[in-house]
Amino acid sequence: MVSPQAAVSAVQRFPSRKPLRHDFVWGVSTSSYQIEGAERLDGRGPSIWDGFCRQPGRIANGDTGELACDHYHRYRDDIALMQSLGVNAYRFSVAWPRVLPTGRGAANEAGLAFYDRLVDGLLEASIEPWLCLYHWDLPQALQDIGGWTNRDSAGWFSDYARLIAGRLGDRVKRFATFNEPSVFTLFGYSFGWHPPATDDLVSFHAAIHHVNLAHGGAVDVLREQVDGASIGSIHNMQPSRPVHPTPADQKAAAILDDIWNRAFADPQMIGDYPASLRGGIDLHLRDGDMQRICRPVDWLGINHYSPIYAKAEGASPLGFAWADAPAGVPRSPIGWQVDPKAFRDTLLDAHDRYGLPIYVTENGAGAVEKPDAAGEVHDAQRIEYLSSYIDAMHEAIEIGADVRGYFVWSLLDNFEWGAGYANRFGLIYVDYATQRRIAKASARWYSAMIKAHARQATP
């Protein structure tokens, strides 16, 4: 257990490093389905997660996003919490089915009005809104006609991007198209961990290609519709490692690397698919597609938590199986490997490969935790994790990576997908029974660290 004072003293880790740029972005991230709740309110249509959560056995404890953090009603309090942290940016996502209940056609005014209020509240608090168009909550009505396996999905997404640009683009300038496309396609169209929980290779490759087309189309729309738009997309990037140092596992890790780290980032920013995917993608590729996908973007968003592991699996059509990290590695309280050097190397590799300004759009540590008798949450391990990862980022910057911002995942404890509410990633603890928010020790630490950096920053 650390006292808040000891937590703050973790800032001392930094003075040896060169000061960061004065405009370095310090933020927090969330996503719509994970925090909003208000699942059936004010005309929101169903998303693929609403139904998936109700399928027995899919989500720990049978949890759903029905109420989540009730952010839909408590967004003002949540903005006040961000203000008390001293962050200058907030990354959130728009729930597509809240603004277009069936994914296309008539917009839902009440849904759009919610994002108006949120954006206005952020701007009043001097917190820059960073809007992500897609953080996994596809309208169910679009899934019913094939979801991302339908090539028309690229057009649906462009129309949705046009709606959001037209409504919010006078106030929002930072846009991301997709959050972690490799996660929702691999987990949704192959592993069965996310909706639509299918496992056919042709659909998986179709989804990859159509999401890439949707990205390119939306970049064009945002560029055309929003004066001064700064556009990127958000990729989870982690070293992919063999679980054993055998040639077969090394090959498995290379396949996973192509899917996880390159299947979206390469076509979007370099204009080509990794060689191992070309055969599968060819079936869906039409003339001109690579030009449609590879549109100029302004920055690369990187989400990073820990390395990933693969092992050879002859029976898998993908040529690998997902594996747990080997025994003995340092782990977070929920078992994820802690390896800040892997983060530093990921940032340096991405800088070399894509040459774009980088924003770390998610990084954080999960835990199963509760307040002590005095009502405090002493999350020493989260502070240690964040401190060592921010230092690793700083080292990457000193070596030459052009990293311009960092967002903690997450502002609040929230609905953590398959783990339901059991795994908590927030700087702010949420008591789900009462919706009371309690700042954890890490919230005080993050706030002190932002202030310490601001004092040192170069003009």
Q: How far is the CB of 172 from ligand FCB (least distance, A)?
A: 20
Residue 31 binds ligand FCB, judged by CB under 6 A? yes
Whichever of 183 and 403 has its CB closer to ligand FCB, that residue is 183
Question: Would you give the binding string for ligand FCB spanning residues 110-149, x where CB under 6 A is met?
Answer: ----------------------------------------
Is residue 362 annotated as a catalytic residue, yes or no? Answer: yes
Smallest gap, in angstroms, from Cβ of residue 183 to ligand FCB?
5
**Per-residue interface string for the shown chain with ligand FCB, residues 417-436, x marking contact by CB under 6 A:** x-------x-----------
Q: Which residue pairs from 266-272 have beta carbons closer than 8 angstroms and sit at least 24 positions apart in sequence?
A: 267/212, 267/293, 267/294, 268/212, 268/215, 268/216, 268/233, 268/293, 268/294, 268/295, 268/297, 269/294, 269/297, 269/300, 269/354, 269/356, 270/294, 270/353, 270/354
409 binds ligand FCB (CB under 6 A): yes
Write out the two tokens for 136.
């996994």
Per-residue contact string for residues 224-263; x = within reach of ligand FCB by CB under 6 A: ------------x---------------------------
Total Cβ atoms within 10 A of residue 103: 24
CA separation for the pair 140, 132 (Å, rounded): 19
The answer to whether 28 contacts ligand FCB (rule: CB under 6 A) is no
If binding is defined by CB under 6 A, does position 389 make contact with ligand FCB?
no
Task: Considering the candidates 36, 39, 362, 384, report the single residue annotated as catalytic.
Answer: 362
Please give the C-alpha separations between residue 342 and each of 240, 322, 348, 383, 395, in angstroms, as whole numbers: 10, 18, 10, 18, 12
Name the token pair of 404: 């311009």
Q: Total residues at the site for ligand FCB (CB under 6 A)?
A: 12
Minimum separation from the CB atom of position 362 to ligand FCB (A):
6
Give 134 or 280: the residue with its C-beta nearer to ligand FCB: 134
Token look-up 């398959």 returns 418
Q: Name the token pair of 74.
A: 């408590």
**33 lines the binding site for ligand FCB (CB under 6 A):** no
Half-sphere exposure of 101 (CA within 13 A, CB side): 13
Nearest-10 Cα torsion for 76, 81, 86, 88: -40
Min. distance of Cβ 279 from ligand FCB in angstroms?
28
**Interface with ligand FCB by CB under 6 A: which residues?**
31, 34, 179-180, 183, 236, 303, 362, 409, 416-417, 425
- Please identify every residue annotated as catalytic: 180, 362
